Homo-oligomer: A and B are copies of this chain.
Amino acid sequence: MVDVAALVAGAREGAPRAVARLISLVEGASPQLREVMAALAPHCGNAYVVGLTGSPGVGKSTTTSALVTAYRAQGRRVGVLAVDPSSPFSGGALLGDRVRMGEHASDPGVYIRSMATRGHLGGLAWAAPQAIRVLDAAGCDVVLVETVGVGQSEVEIAAQADTSVVLLAPGMGDGIQAAKAGILEIGDAYVVNKADRDGAGATVRELNHMLGLGEARRPGDWRPPVVKAVAARGEGVEEMVAALDKHRGWMEEHGVLAERRAARAAKEIENIALTALRERMGELRGGKRLDALAARVVEGSLDPYAAADALVEGVTEG
């Protein structure tokens, strides 16, 4: 058994190996997961969590790296969680340009972790919040969660973050994609990266136009800013940080930060509870109860709702 208390103490003192070990424990759903989470709880709640999402090729890693540099210059400790989508089947992460983060690898004020989303459901939803908690408890002032915007991952990231940043690049047909994927509803800020390319102005205009088309905002509502950047040259990074600071300030002023964190915690608790209940269902009558009910549904002697009632009864009445 791992000495969890010692690991947490080590992480709190800034030992990168202790942080890495803790993330491995929570990511791997170790039997000590509960012990780890209980030990982390009192130290959580300080980190500002920023989600960064966008299609492949918009420069997410470069932008993340530039943000790390900017926050480090302010003396803040930064955690980076790079979530890589993977096949729901292979379980393998499509790593790649993580190397661009290399410049920060030797900085003791920066923790960088890549994470695969194992399976299409649950992967990100389960592992990421726990890993964020580790980085939070380890004293990170800011946690940047970077993910490729494919399928639902950007929506999930938005649900995990205090502030969600959507990255785009000129001339990638992102405008139409944005509308389709619903990213117009998840971004608290938009960054048009590679803004030295043709069409940057048009992309910014299109985005601003579409953001303005949304349902009528009430006075005081947040209007997501659109920032132009060339992250590879550090251009626009100051503006990005300013936009994030502004959003954080707005959220604090309007009670939105507390609201978002409470909603996130509620969702997380609910997910963990449902997983526990699903396990109990699977274990009913030595794992035979659900199979027996399914057989009756297949043969038509029971409908799935009546079967579900029987299953719920089994779980809730021991």
Where the two chains meet, the residues of A that have a C-beta atom closer than 8 Å to any C-beta of B are 33-34, 37-38, 40-45, 87-90, 120-121, 129, 150-152, 155, 180-182, 185, 258, 261-263, 265-266, 268-270, 272-274, 276-278, 281, 290-291, 293-295, 297-309, 311-312, 315-318
Instruction: With both chains docked as a complex, state the minimum distance between the C-beta of A196 and any C-beta of chain B, in angstroms.
Output: 28
Residues of B within 8 A of A150 (CB): 151
Closest CB-CB distance, A303 to chain B, in whole Å?
A: 4
Given contacts A38-B306, A45-B299, contact A274 B278 (CB under 8 A): yes
Q: A265-B298, A304-B272, A308-B272 are in contact. Are A277 and B315 (CB under 8 A)?
A: yes
CA distance A90 to B215 in the complex (A): 12
Docked-complex contact B281 and A270, CB < 8 angstroms:
yes
Across chains A and B, which 7 residue pairs bring their CB atoms closest together, nearest first?
A151-B151, A272-B308, A266-B294, A265-B294, A41-B303, A37-B303, A273-B308
CB distance from A149 to the nearest CB of B (A): 11
User: When the two chains form their complex, are residues A294 and B269 in contact, meaning their CB atoms are under 8 A apart?
Assistant: yes
Whether A303 touches B38, Cβ cut-off 8 Å, given contacts A276-B308, A291-B262, is yes
**Residues of B close to A318: CB separation below 8 A:** 316
B87 touches A182 (CB 8 A): yes
**Assuming the A-B contacts A120-B155, A151-B152, A295-B262, are A41 and B270 also in contact, with contact meaning beta carbons closer than 8 angstroms in the complex?**
no
Asked if A300 and B182 make an inter-chain contact with CB atoms under 8 angstroms apart, the answer reads: no
11 additional A-B residue pairs with CB within 8 Å, beyond A265-B307, A273-B311, A316-B318? A41-B303, A89-B182, A121-B121, A152-B152, A262-B295, A265-B293, A268-B297, A269-B293, A270-B278, A274-B277, A277-B315
Tell me, rounded to whole Å, the shortest Cβ–Cβ distance linking A157 to chain B.
13
Return chain B residues, CB-CB under 8 Å to A309. 273, 276
Q: Point out the residues of chain B lying under 8 angstroms from A301, CB to CB.
A: 41-42
Instruction: State the Cβ distance, A181 to closest chain B Cβ, in Å.
Output: 7
Report how far A304 CA is from B39 CA in the complex, Å.
11
Output the least CB separation between A291 and chain B (Å).
6
Q: Which of A90, A295, A302, A304 has the most chain B CB atoms inside 10 A of its CB?
A: A304
Chain B residues within an 8 Å CB radius of A180: 87
Give the interface centre of A298, A305, A307 by most chain B CB atoms within 10 Å.
A305
Bound complex: CA A180 to CA B93 (Å) = 11
Nearest chain B CB to A312's CB is how many angstroms away? 5
